[in-house]
Structure 1
């Protein structure tokens, strides 16, 4: 099996695929992310996804996580505002009509349609499996994809998954799609309990493992507390706090701004690139390279979630 990873970034889904036993080739335009991928030994095409197609880079599994800036709550909101038009575009693509990316206010919004272009391209064979992930706001787009892909003979499953339920030391929700040509598509079963504030680590479904805390994932003296500005709208009064005995907040490109303090309130060094990467599921020694490393990490698919998705797709 050979996987083709669109919008490959520094290797979240690519590394996940390798861990699941699938060799991949990733397409990525950002030179910084490409530098990391090359250092990690991941096969990479440095280029624009929109300029390639299945005939250029053949494979049997299609994976991808299109840019989320216009859909995420922290972004400009253009994608969310144009959801109905995006879904209409998906339907038109299913009817083999051309969709001009210039129809959308922000050109990044149209990139969410690229995996479908690849999936529907006239080529020798269809993909055996498709795995896509994005921010939760994109779920309606994946559901529209599902309608089109079912017409093409795929079994499709969509939903929103919580990263901590797949062993990530971080709470992060992702809208996902799994499509299979052979067999029934299903989302991966959780392996860990969901994180709920105030519920002790040892409590919950006895059939699932406890969620993983930052303290368990990082080689740092405990206890410590992380003070995050994520989701606060920039208001310092709304800054959230998580202790080392809890999973991290969603890891974003602004993770280097998070403060870390000890039990006495003393400032500790902020997370290194290696530590931020570990919270996203990368190995401690992952060779982060190039510039803007926090953004590379924040944009990546959580590795263990990716492993679960790909294993479910090829089962």
Structure 2
């Protein structure tokens, strides 16, 4: 038996992709304000048992009758919806990057400062209003972990407390809230997300982890697999094309032979080589920086190493020319022998390379800008492609990112594609949640 799921703030549909990949759900409705993302959502659900209706509109502006009609058109009465899912945009809950730190390989947020009231926070309340109207058996909200500490009405953490109180007292749900790490569910990415699961049919548990940090696995945890690594995820993909869709749709022999992993085998769902394996062209100034970067290292480590290396060059040149160290450095910078960028204090993961033997850090909507995080290929002098970013998010290869409002053949606008990928819920994480909910629905 398959159950119904409707997705608001759907983006490209990573959340609902995980639900349908579980084999237990049909996506019956998708809503977003971004036309390219919603077109991608529709395209990738086109061959499902039930094709979803879509609503391109701001959730705050959609009449409930329009939602009811869209569900009825798919045979779902408003009170019969099994699951409502969504991730209200997280910009209102985010912090300045300078407060990020790395702890055990996972980004943590320190020094939380009060944010001004953000009008985007009312998107959460609009989502709850839809939930109150539809009364689904299950409700799942996904967001950044900072949401749990976000201020509301002058008190930190009050926003999540308000959401829980509304779900429990006003709507009659039992609620579980926690922070899940995507890597613990087979996603090759150390991505943490706050998850709210609300149930009208009894208590619900979070899915059990299937993977763990290999250093923590012991004979007492024999059922856990080691984290999926970057190599597991993308090592079978060839060097990409720049800016143009050349490989997409070609024969499967484009994959690199002998590099297939258990994870990449799971991802190879397409009958042809996947689309979106495209990287952008980077300025020479960016390429000069990443050429010096080693896999898995922080900016502080690499810039410190380069400063030490340059220090010896500066001292030698100063002695040879009789110039002061300061003037010698300026002259060497002018000659292109020293790159002044390494004397700057950038964000800790800026321009850094992925490590083959570890999961990636969080893939964000800015993954095509190498100065915004660890988005550089482990070996090649380039950023990751849309397809590589999608693999790191656990999108299977048959999932195509449509980067035009009107043309299903347009798959090469990297900024739009990366935005969709970075904002999505990893499908494997969503699939684990869906499987847990389906089991509860089965019992009910």
Q: State the TM bucket, normalised to the shorter chain.
A: 0.7 to 0.9
Quote how far apart the aligned CAs of 1:204 are.
8.7
Task: Answer yes or no: is the 8 Å Cα contact 1:164–1:172 preserved in 2.
Answer: yes
Query: Equivalents in 2 of 1:261, 1:165: separation in Å?
Result: 22
| 1:307 matched to 2:438 | no
- Secondary structure at the aligned position of 1:259 is classed as coil
Counterpart of 1:30 in structure 2 is: 34
Partner deviation per Cα, 1:180-234 (whole Å, 9 max, x = no partner): 1112121111111147xxx488999333111100111112488x936788xxxx9
Deviations 1:138-175 (A, max 9, x none): 12434432222222332211011111001100001000
Residues 205 and 13 of structure 1, relative CA distance in 2, 3 Å threshold:
same
1:33-56 Cα distance to aligned partner (Å, 9 max, x none): 122123213532222111225543
Residues 365, 421 of structure 2: 8 Å contact kept:
yes
Determine the structure 2 residue equivalent to 1:52: 62
More strand as a share of residues: 1
| 2:186 equivalent in structure 1 | 167
Aligned equivalent of 2:121: 109
Unaligned segments of structure 2, at least 5 residues: 47-51, 68-77, 100-111, 149-156, 239-258, 260-293, 300-343, 404-412
1:189 aligns with 2:208: yes
Bigger helix share: 2
What is the SS of the residue equivalent to 1:56? helix
Q: CA 1:305–1:248 in structure 2 vs 1: closer, same or farther (change >3 Å)?
A: same
TM-score, with normalisation over the residues of structure 1?
0.78
- Which stretch of the first structure deviates more once superposed, 64-73 or 105-114? 105-114
Residue in structure 2 matching 1:225, options 288, 292, 295 = 295
Number of the residue aligned with 2:242? none
Residues 41, 237 of structure 1: CA spacing in aligned structure 2 closer, same or farther, 3 A cutoff?
Answer: closer
Once residues 354 and 58 of structure 2 are traced to their aligned partners in structure 1, the CA distance between those partners, rounded to angstroms, is 38
Q: Does 2:362 align with 1:250?
A: yes
What is the root-mean-square deviation in Å for CA atoms of aligned residues?
3.0
Shift of 1:261: 4.0
In structure 1, what is the equivalent of residue 165 of structure 2? 147
Matched, 1:129 2:241: no
For 1:164 and 1:252, how far apart are their aligned partners in 2?
15
Q: Kindly indicate whether residue 66 of structure 2 is the aligned counterpart of residue 66 of structure 1.
A: no
Structure 1 equivalent of residue 230 of structure 2: 214
Cα 1:53–1:15 change in 2 (3 A) is farther
Offset at 1:237?
A: 7.1
Take 1:35 and 1:76, find their aligned partners in 2: how far apart are those partners? 35
Unaligned runs of 5+ residues in structure 1 are 83-103
SS in structure 2 of the partner of residue 188 of structure 1 = coil
Q: TM-score, normalised by structure 2?
A: 0.57
- Describe the SS at the equivalent of 1:156: strand
Q: Does 1:40 align with 2:44?
A: yes
Indicate the SS of the match to 2:6.
Answer: strand
Pick aligned residue for 2:10 from 5, 8, 11:
8
Larger Rg: 2
Q: Which residue of 2 aligns with 1:205?
A: 221
Deviations 1:238-294 (A, max 9, x none): 3355411100010001222222242xxxx4442111111111110123211114111
Could you say which residue in structure 1 is the equivalent of 2:395?
A: 282
Secondary structure of residue in 1 paired with 2:92 = coil
Q: Partners of 2:298 and 2:237 in 1: how far apart?
A: 18
Deviation at 1:120, TM superposition (A): 2.0
Per-residue Cα deviation, 1:74-94 (whole angstroms, up to 9, x for no partner): 5899x9735xxxxxxxxxxxx
Q: Secondary structure at the match of 2:119?
A: coil
